[in-house]
Amino acid sequence: DAKTTQPNSMESNEEEPVHLPCNHSTISGTDYIHWYRQLPSQGPEYVIHGLTSNVNNRMASLAIAEDRKSSTLILHRATLRDAAVYYCILRDEWGGADGLTFGKGTHLIIQP
Amino acid sequence: DTAVSQTPKYLVTQMGNDKSIKCEQNLGHDTMYWYKQDSKKFLKIMFSYNNKELIINETVPNRFSPKSPDKAHLNLHINSLELGDSAVYFCASSRKGARNTEAFFGQGTRLTVV
């Protein structure tokens, strides 16, 4: 899996939007962009993924740059429960049995 | 219903012992994984197992061996435990080769070797 770069930590206030950036300048044409998060003392949890177009689901939105060299995970209205480590991971189309390659992720701190 | 469940949640054991961690998934997935999260919180893939095909991360010592009695289970057996094996171990499952390769993780097993 190609490499991603994320800020070590970010801080935001409760009930405000949060934009978590990810750079992946070596992304290949078939790599999907996946986001996972890990809440304290829990296993990683799938958030969202996309290929080229922006994606929305009940948890978040994913904005993908036109050249696909970067993406942004958007939490529209952060709550204290969103405090977690967020991981941006690239998977090729047939990701399959090689598992997920986790980096250090971004530690998101939510202030009340 | 828990999608991916691991037992035990906590495991404290002495150096040199042999132990197993069990994992079961009820999602009908064909691929299961074991990950290790060390004290620095770095998550690393150890094994993936799909339809009797085992892919091993080359850095994993051969004291670690996954056992799959059926498609829904992938247990992790560890021989001759060492202090450095202390970590949180996560089991996960997903579908292989599908566009939507969302992985589901268990809650983890905290292994402490004393």
pLDDT at position B80 is 98
CA–CA min distance A46, chain B (Å): 7
What CA–CA distance (Å, rounded) separates A34 from A23? Answer: 12
- Average pLDDT rounded to a whole number, residues A86-97: 77
**Hey, is A53 helix, strand or coil?**
coil
Shortest CA distance from B99: residue in chain A = A93
Confidence at A26, pLDDT banded by 50, 70, 90? very high
CB contact under 8 A, A96 and B99: no
**Predicted local confidence at residue A92, as pLDDT:** 74
Q: How many CA atoms lie within 13 A of A32 on its CB side?
A: 20
Q: Answer whether A52 touches B (CB < 8 Å).
A: no
Which residues on chain A are in Cβ contact (under 8 Å) with B45?
98-101
Mutate which of B101, B104, B110 to test chain A, going by most A C-beta atoms within 10 A? B101
Residue A74: CB atoms within 10 A of its CB come to: 15
Which of A30, A98, A101 best probes binding to B when mutated, by most B CB atoms within 10 angstroms?
A: A98
Burial class (CB in 10 A: 0-12, 13-18, 19+), A15: exposed
In whole angstroms, give the CA distance from residue B77 to residue B19.
Answer: 6
Tell whether the model's pLDDT for residue B83 goes beyond 80.
yes
Tokens (6 digits) for A62: 């994913």
Least confident of A51-55, B20-24, B32-36, B92-96: B92-96
Phi, psi of A29 (to 5 degrees): -60, -25
In whole angstroms, how far apart are CA A91 and each of A28, B94, B106?
10, 13, 21
pLDDT band per the 50, 70, 90 thresholds, residue B82: very high
**A96, closest residue in chain B (CA to CA):** B96
Q: Pick the more confident residue, A82 or A28.
A: A82
Residue of B49, B96, B105 with shortest CB distance to A44: B105
Q: In this complex, is the C-beta atom of B58 within 8 Å of any C-beta atom belonging to chain A? A: no
3-state secondary structure at position A96: helix
Please state, for a pLDDT cut of 70, what percent of chain A lies above it.
93
Based on DSSP, count helices (H) and strands (E) in chain B, helices before strands: 0, 11
Which residues in chain A (77-96) have CB-CB distances under 8 A to chain B? 85, 87, 91, 93-96
CA distance B22 to B19: 10
Interface A:B, Cβ pairs < 8 A = 64
Task: Tell me the pLDDT tens digit for each residue of A35-73.
Answer: 999 999 999 999 999 999 999 999 999 999 999 999 999
CB atoms within 10 A of CB B31: 27
